[in-house]
Structure 1
Amino acid sequence: MSAATLIGSLHRTDFPGMKTRDGADWHYLDTGATAQKPQAVIDAVTRAIGADYATVHRGVYARSADMTLAYEAARRSVARFIGAASEEEIVFVRGATEAINLVASSWGDASLKAGDRILLSQLEHHSNIVPWQLLAERVGAAIDVVPLTIDGLIDLDAMAAMISPAHKLVALAHVSNVLGSVLDVRRAVEIAHDAGAAILIDGCQAVPRLPVDVAALGCDFYVFSAHKLYGPTGIGALWARKALLDAMPPWQGGGSMIDRVTFPKTTYAPAPTRFEAGTPAIVEAIGFAAAVDYLTGIGIDAIAAHEEALVREARRALRSMNSVRVFGPEASAGIVSFEVEGVHPHDVGTILDEEGVAIRAGHHCAQPLMEHLGVAATARASFGLYNDSSDIDALVRGIERVRKIFG
C-alpha cells in the first residue's frame, strides 16, 4: 500500500460525509475550502448541544459550571496544539477572517498612523488583504506587495530588499490556498522584526496539515479557522502573546468582556475575555477541541507526510496529461491547482461532479494571484487525511472525460 493511500484508507471511515447520499464513495477534494468532520467531532457537538448544553461563565448551577470547564478546556487544547505559552494567548473568534479584522481594528487603529506602510504578498487570500486596505484608508497608511518567485513562493529576498522602517505590519499566508506554497515563516519574521515591523501569519491552510509552534515561529499574530481543521464552522482562533493582547483595546463591546459598567465609565476584562463580547460559540468551541484531539491522536507529522505523498502523486498524474497546466511549486502542502486548456474551470468542476469528484473552481478569493498567473480562475484539488490514491485516480478519469467532451 502506497504512502498516499495508507492514512486515507485507515481513517476514511471516520468521516460519514465521505459517502454520497446513495452510499457510494465520494471523492472529496475540497478540503482547502472546508474539511469533512470525523464522527468524534460530530459526537462531541451533538453531546454539547444536547444532553450537556448550558451557557458558560454566568450560571451558578452545576451544568453551567461543567460547560464552562469544558469551554475553557477547549481553549487550553487549542493553545497546546499550536505551542502557545498559555490558554490566555488564545482568543476565540468566528474564524480567521474575524481574527484578522480584530487585529486590524484593535491593534492596527492604535498602532498605525498616516504615512505608515503595510506589507502583504501577491498570493494572499482576500481576507488577508481587504481588512488591511480598510485600515490603511482609516489611518492614511499605504500598502506594498511582495512579489512571488517563478515557482510561486513569496519572494523573501525581495521582501528583505523592499521593507523599510515605515513598514509597521507584515501580513503573510503560511500556506497559499491556491498554490499550496509554504512560507519560511521564521525567515519572514526575522526580516519583519529587523525592520521594526509586527507580523501576522494566516495559518488557515497550514494548521490542518503542518506542525505549527507559534513560539518557535516567533510571529506576533497567528490566525486560523476550525472548519478547515476538521472542526465546526463559526469558530477560529487568534493567537498573540499575552502582553501584546493586554495592550490592545477592545474591539466589540457587550456582555462578558467587561470588568465593571457604569454610565460615566466602563472598565474591561483582561485578555482574552476582553475580545469575546457576548455569548460565545460554546458548542463550536467544544467541537474545535474534539477536532484537535482527533488530529493529535493521528499525528500532524503523519498527516503532513501523507498529504505530501498525495500532492506528489497528483502533480505527476496531471503533468502527464496533455493540455493540463499545473500551477505552483513541486513541494506544496496539500493543494494542487490546475487548468485544462480551453475549458473554463467551472465546466471542469461540473463534469467532475458528475463523476463523483468534488473540487473547487474559481478565483479562490485570491484575485490578485489569478491576475499574476494570467488566468481568470483555476481548478483546485485540495487533500485531507481521508484522501487516498483512489481519489487521484477518479480525478484523472474525470479530467480525461473533460478532455473528450471539449476535445
Structure 2
Amino acid sequence: MTFDVQQIRSQFPVLAREINDYPLTYLDNAASAQKPTAVMDAMTSQTERAYANVHRGLHTMANETTEAFEAARGKVASFLGAPSDKNIVFTRGATEALNLCAYGLAHMIEPGDEIIITQMEHHSNIVPWHFLRERHGAVIKFVPVTDEGALDLGAYKAMLGEKTKIVSIVHMSNVLGTVNPIKDMATWAHAAGAIFISDGTQAAVHMDIDVQDLGVDLYCMTGHKLYGPTAIGALYGTSATLDKMQPFNGGGEMIEDVFEDRVTYNDAPYKFEAGTPPILEAIGLGAAIDWVRQFSSEDIRQHEMALYHAARDGLADMNSIQVVGTTADKGPVLSFNLKGAHAHDLAQILDKYGVAVRAGQHCTQPLMARFGIHSTARASFGIYNTLDEAERFVEAVRKAARFLA
C-alpha cells in the first residue's frame, strides 16, 4: 500500500482527540502505541463469530478458534524470519519472554558462570539475570556505553571467555534509540560458546527482523508497541535452544502425560505455554502484523526518521537542551533534558499543549547512572505521526523552556 500518513491516521480513531483544547500529539510510542481499527475489529470479530478455548476441543468453534490462534503464530514466525511456527512461543510480552529465557536456562548455570548484558538494557533484561546471580551464583558483566550512546565493542569482546554462558543484549535501546550490531555480537558470543539472546521490543517495530540472518539463539518482541494489544508477545528460539530450556510454568497444555510419580512435557513451543493462552490478544497481534506489513518497511523508517530529525533539528539551537543518545545508526527516539528542570515537570507542561511524551528513567536506571542523570523526557515517533506534530512538539518545548526559565 502507498504510504499516506493521513490515510494511516484515519485508521486510529483516538488520534482525533483533543487534549486541553489542543490536537493530540501522541509521542509516547516507545512505551505503547495506539491501535488501528483492523486490530480492534479482528479481536471483536473473533469474539462475536467463534470464540472457544484452543487445542482441547473437538467442536466447530474450538477448531475455528484454534486455527485463528495458530495462524497468528505463523504470522509472527514470518514477521521475524523464523524457519517454522514451532520456533515461536507466545508470551504475555517481552518481559515474560526474557524471564522465560532466564528461568529456562537457569539449570545450565553454575557458580562463577558469567552473563553479559549492557548498561543500556531495560530492567526486563537486567532483573531476570539478577535472579540467576542470587540463586545460582552467576556473575553479571555490563558492557559499557560511550558518551554518544553506542556500545564499547572492544570491551564486549574482551569480556567474552570460557566462563561466558549467556549474552543478552537489546537490539534497539528504548532510551538512546541506538541500534546495536547484534549479528556481529552474536557471532563473537557463539565463538566463546555462549547462548545469545536479544531483546527486540523496540527493533521489531522499526526494522526488518530476520532472526536466522542475525544468528540469535533467542529473540523476543511484544505486541503493544507494534500497534497490537497488550498482554501478548513472542519469543523466538532455535529448535536446539528451546529443547535445552526447562518449562517456566506448569499446568495444562504444556504436558504430554501426568502421573502420580512423574510428568512428561510437550514439545516446544507448547511446553512453554501452560494454561489457557491469551487467545484474542494473539489474534490481535496477528492482525497488527498484517496491518503493518501492508506498508514498505523502508517507507516507514524514512518517515519516522524524518520526524525524529525535524524534532532534533528544531531543538538544536537551544543551549538549554541536552540530548541523550546521538549515534548515527539509531531509531526514532529522542531523549532529552531541559537544564534546570525536572523531566516530569517538562512532560506535564507539554501535556498542557496536547503533546504526550514519556518522562522518567524508562526502566533503565543503570543507563541513567552512566550518564549522571536522574531521568529524561522522551519523544518517540511512530507510523502515524506527522511533520506538523514534530513541529508542535518543538513549539511546546520552547514554550515550556520559557515557562521554566
Identify the TM-score tier after normalising by the shorter chain: over 0.9
Q: Alignment partner for residue 222 of structure 2, among 221, 225, 246?
A: 225
Do residues 156 (structure 1) and 156 (structure 2) align?
no
CA-CA distance at 1:344 after TM superposition = 0.6
**CA gap 1:24/1:66 in 2 versus in 1, 3 angstroms:** farther
Q: Alignment partner for residue 54 of structure 2, among 48, 53, 56?
A: 56
Identity %: 46
Whether the 8 Å contact between 2:33 and 2:226 is mirrored in structure 1 is yes
Deviation larger for 123-132 or 158-167: 158-167
Q: Which residue of 2 aligns with 1:276?
A: 273
- Give runs of aligned pairs for residues 3-402 of structure 1, distance below 5 A: 7-20=4-17, 25-107=23-105, 109-331=106-328, 332-402=330-400
Partner amino acid, structure 2, of 1:179: L
Can you give the 5+ residue segments of structure 1 that lack an aligned partner in the other structure?
1-5
**In 1, Cα distance between the equivalents of 2:388 and 2:332?**
16
**In 2, Cα distance between the equivalents of 1:299 and 1:275?**
33
Partner amino acid, structure 2, of 1:381: A
**CA gap 1:140/1:265 in 2 versus in 1, 3 angstroms:** same
Deviation larger for 188-197 or 363-372: 188-197
CA-CA distance at 1:71 after TM superposition = 0.4
**In 2, Cα distance between the equivalents of 1:148 and 1:24?**
38
CA-CA distance at 1:144 after TM superposition = 0.7
**CA gap 1:7/1:131 in 2 versus in 1, 3 angstroms:** farther
Deviation larger for 83-92 or 160-169: 160-169
Secondary structure in 1 matching 2:203:
coil
CA offsets 1:350-404 (integer angstroms, 9 cap, x no match) = 0111100000000000011011111100000001000111111111111111112
CA offsets 1:129-180 (integer angstroms, 9 cap, x no match) = 0000111211111111111123101121210122211111111110000010
CA-CA distance at 1:24 after TM superposition = 6.1
**In 2, Cα distance between the equivalents of 1:230 and 1:255?**
30
**CA gap 1:21/1:278 in 2 versus in 1, 3 angstroms:** farther
CA-CA distance at 1:89 after TM superposition = 0.2
CA offsets 1:188-221 (integer angstroms, 9 cap, x no match) = 1112111111111000000011110000000111
CA-CA distance at 1:8 after TM superposition = 3.1
CA-CA distance at 1:49 after TM superposition = 2.6
CA root-mean-square deviation: 1.3
Deviation larger for 294-303 or 65-74: 294-303
Partner amino acid, structure 2, of 1:16: P
**In 2, Cα distance between the equivalents of 1:146 and 1:247?**
26
**In 2, Cα distance between the equivalents of 1:24 and 1:40?**
27
CA-CA distance at 1:330 after TM superposition = 4.4
CA-CA distance at 1:67 after TM superposition = 0.6
- Give TM-score, length-normalised by structure 1: 0.96
CA-CA distance at 1:327 after TM superposition = 1.4
CA-CA distance at 1:300 after TM superposition = 2.1
Whether the 8 Å contact between 1:71 and 1:282 is mirrored in structure 2 is yes
Partner amino acid, structure 1, of 2:230: T
Whether the 8 Å contact between 1:34 and 1:227 is mirrored in structure 2 is yes
Can you give the 5+ residue segments of structure 2 that lack an aligned partner in the other structure?
none
**In 2, Cα distance between the equivalents of 1:299 and 1:335?**
20
CA-CA distance at 1:406 after TM superposition = 1.4
Deviation larger for 46-55 or 87-96: 46-55
**In 2, Cα distance between the equivalents of 1:283 and 1:24?**
34
Whether the 8 Å contact between 1:169 and 1:199 is mirrored in structure 2 is yes
CA offsets 1:325-347 (integer angstroms, 9 cap, x no match) = 11112432010101111111101
- Give TM-score, length-normalised by structure 2: 0.96
CA-CA distance at 1:277 after TM superposition = 0.1
**Structure 1: which 4+ aligned runs deviate by more than 6 Å?**
none
Whether the 8 Å contact between 1:104 and 1:135 is mirrored in structure 2 is yes
Aligned length: 401
CA-CA distance at 1:299 after TM superposition = 2.5
**In 1, Cα distance between the equivalents of 2:108 and 2:93?**
23
